[in-house]
Structure 1
Amino acid sequence: MAKNTLLLLAVLTAGCAGAHDDPSVLTRNDAIDDYIQVSELKEIDAIRSRDQLNHRAVTEKYIIISDRKHEYLAAFARRCKELTNYEIKPDIRREANVLSARFDTYRGCPIRSLYEISEGQAQEVMQIGEALGQSAHE
């Protein structure tokens, strides 16, 4: 009886451990990773802008940042659940008017990489998230 109880406890614990990552979010993140590679997006070190930066959440790991003239895809080093909960402004820490990959954060979430994208590419990335599940805003 004790062996059965321990076995059941181990199975339940393993099931709960895997429940933290929503498969649809993981699929969307993988699809965006593939899009970055296939489209050969140009990785940049920083966004330099005197305009206010706005963002749209694609998933908990990706956002699209925009100013009046340009669009950028930002990838976080980890999942960032804070994106959809608050009005977010970048935590610019090194230089005014510069948002840097690997140094700056959005709501405490470290930015792993930045990619320069066109308006059409931004729409495609948003559609990837919507086609594979609910958008990060919902």
Structure 2
Amino acid sequence: MSKFIYRYDTVLRIKEVFEKKILKEISDIEKTIEKLEIDKKKLITKKEDLAQKITEGKIKVVDYKSAKSLCKTLEKEIAGVEKKIYEWQLKRKSKLDELIERKKEIQILEALKEKQYEEFLINSNREELKQLNEIAINNFNRKEQ
């Protein structure tokens, strides 16, 4: 009996490699988003602490103006970080969509592989049955002679 060889096996392996690559990229994007979220929390905490010091009057009059401008700068930085987070989330969404497409392609190839394997088994059984019939006919002819 011959061995089953799938025609598109190399294509399937390449698709799986691409899927793993996309998964790694998604993981890297997730790490970047987490880092940006931590940076955002730090900036918010820093801004809140500064605002609290300003309202409680713990800052000298000379430093008041610079503290207010620092608050505005922190707000701009927070907005910039939020924008970066949003951009990374869009990248993650596009990668997830790409991953879904890759998974569909792999499922199609695997379904095709199963179908070809079933056809291979049917053909193999058919060939085996032909060989057994020939052997049986030859044995029958020998007995009659």
* Both proteins in one fold, TM over 0.5: no
More helix, by proportion: 2
Instruction: Compare the two structures and name the one with the higher strand fraction.
Output: 1
Length-normalised TM-score, structure 1: 0.32
Q: Which has the larger radius of gyration?
A: 2
